[in-house]
């Protein structure tokens, strides 16, 4: 803390998986309770001069508040993704693709909206293709967990990706988590499905 040496903080998002946050600094120490305060900073902003030469920078509080908010968002997004993928056994709920690097945690209700909470029941594990198709209303997932592909997509003629990747998903039931509280909320799916129907009309 006295030397202002940057550290790496490993934040656990799920058991066995961590998000590395760098740089962080120790900015407070309470020996009585064996606790200390950590503050995150921006790596691109760091000054590498000797500690005794460091000069306080104007508007430091506003800058740090902004950086802290950005890091909290990263932690929040990473934790949501890991928990959703874990609930779906690291596979796409539609096509069962298991390559984790090609999987996303899709929000049923977007996180930009008040009901778009970062909880597993508001998420579905989808591969990149099906996530994009879900977000752009190419398909929907009904409250009974059945996939519905947009009518014009079903009638379109294109290559094998459209046929096998989208059209063959029509009327299939998605894979759902084993634990009931991790399953997609039928109420949220109903609200999302209403938007899909409005987009088709």
What is the tally of structural domains in the chain? 2
DSSP designation for 89: T
- Taking only the tens place, the pLDDT of each residue in 158-190 is 889 999 999 999 999 999 999 999 999 999 999
Structure confidence at residue 171 (pLDDT)? 97
Residue 164's domain spans which residues?
Answer: 95-200
- Taking only the tens place, the pLDDT of each residue in 35-76 is 988 888 766 555 544 445 554 555 666 766 767 666 666 667
Which residues have CB under 8 Å from 67's CB, separation 6+? 40, 41, 42
Looking at the fold, whether 189 and 124 belong to one and the same domain comes out as yes
Using left for φ > 0, alpha for ψ between -120 and 50, and beta otherwise, residue 158 falls in: beta
Domain boundary among 35, 65, 84: 84
Looking at the fold, whether 19 and 103 belong to one and the same domain comes out as no
DSSP calls for 156-181: ----HIIIIIIGGGTTPBPP--SSGG
């Amino acid at each position: 803390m006295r030397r202002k040496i940057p550290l790496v903080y490993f934040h656990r998002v799920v058991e066995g998986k961590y998000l590395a946050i760098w740089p962080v600094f120790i900015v407070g120490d309470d020996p009585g309770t064996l606790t200390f305060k950590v503050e995150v900073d921006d790596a691109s902003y760091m000054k590498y001069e000797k500690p005794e030469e460091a000069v306080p920078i104007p508007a430091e509080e506003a800058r740090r508040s902004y950086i802290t908010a950005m890091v909290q968002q990263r932690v929040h997004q990473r934790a949501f993704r890991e928990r959703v993928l874990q609930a779906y056994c690291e596979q796409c709920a539609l096509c069962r693709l298991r390559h984790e690097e090609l999987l996303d945690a899709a929000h049923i209700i977007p996180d930009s909206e008040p009901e778009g909470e970062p909880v597993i029941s508001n998420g579905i594990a989808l591969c990149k293709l099906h996530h994009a198709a879900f977000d752009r209303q190419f398909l929907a997932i009904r409250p009974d967990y059945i996939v519905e592909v947009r009518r014009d997509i079903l009638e379109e003629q294109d290559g094998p990706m459209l046929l096998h990747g989208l059209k063959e998903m029509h009327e299939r039931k998605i894979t759902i988590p084993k634990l009931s509280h991790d399953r997609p909320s039928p109420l949220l799916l109903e609200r999302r499905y209403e938007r899909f129907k409005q987009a088709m009309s």
